[in-house]
Amino acid sequence: MQYEIKGAPYPVAILNLNAGESVLCQSGAMTWMTPNMRMETKGGGLGKMFSRAISGESMFQNTYTAQGGNGMIAFASTVPGDVLAIELQPGQSIVAQKSAFLASASTVSYEMFFQKKVGAGFFGGEGFIMQKFSGSGLLLLEIDGSAITYDLAPGETLLVDTGNLAAMEATCSMDIETVKGVGNALLGGEGLFHTKVTGPGRIWLQTLPISNMAASIARYIPSKG
């Protein structure tokens, strides 16, 4: 399976599949494709459907398979930003924010990921429930704004503003840290908490969370009445 990503800041991932290869995506994610791509829609059972629903995804997934020869299919991002392509290796797992999943090879598996620390779930900006991807093969995630990558050494930490953590390797851990100083917390404009990410592992940050974009646009929309 070969791929290319074009069109930033409104990106599209174009995948070229060999005959018989399959790709998974969210319901409605396909943008264009060659006629020999066969679609099959599955829920995967009530448990998996429920897991996807509460983690911000569609209850159903589509599988597209190239039949009778090589095929091509494209998936466009739903927000301005990047499409992050990760080649998952056996034994590697990626934890991502809600609604990050765009598409993947059929060899990539999905499950819910629950925050182990109550504070991180309440105040970290990513919520209690995130998405965890394992297996091997291509994984495509949607990133709000641009994607910035850091590799954290064991015990190395980075403080991240609420909502700016897009994904991390499952070897990393998350917690929250209170902004120091009452004046800083109340007047600094950065909120009361930061997300604290600790290595080892790679993390992917996003420069413009969609919630921040929505809040900026809302300021210019006249209120009724």
DSSP codes joined into one string, 44-103: --HHHHHHHHHTTS-S-EEEEEE-SS-EEEEEE-SSSEEEEEEEEPTT--EEE-TT-EEE
Q: Which amino acid is at 71?
A: G
Residue linked to tokens 């409605």: 28
pLDDT digit string, tens, across residues 177-215: 876 644 444 444 455 678 899 999 999 999 998 776 666
pLDDT digit string, tens, across residues 12-71: 999 999 999 999 998 888 999 999 999 998 755 445 554 544 545 566 789 999 999 999
pLDDT digit string, tens, across residues 104-159: 999 999 888 876 654 444 444 455 588 999 999 999 999 999 999 999 999 999 99
Confidence band, pLDDT 50/70/90 cuts, at residue 219: confident
| Domain spans in the chain, listed from the N-terminal domain onward | 2-218
Cβ neighbourhood burial of 163 (10 Å; 0-12, 13-18, 19+):
buried
pLDDT for 111 equals 86
Residue 210 has phi, psi (to 5 degrees) of -60, -30
pLDDT for 204 equals 97
For domain 2-218, the question of CATH label 3.30.450.260 is answered with: no
Distance from C-alpha of 210 to C-alpha of 102, rounded to nearest angstrom: 16
Q: What is the mean pLDDT of residues 80-87?
A: 94
Strands of the sheet containing 129-135, edge to edge, are 108-114, 129-135, 94-96, 165-169, 201-206, 147-152
> What is the tally of helices (H) and strands (E) in the chain?
4, 19
pLDDT for 46 equals 46
pLDDT digit string, tens, across residues 92-107: 999 999 889 999 999 9
Residue 4 has pLDDT above 50, yes or no: yes
Strands of the sheet containing 173-178, edge to edge, are 157-160, 193-198, 173-178
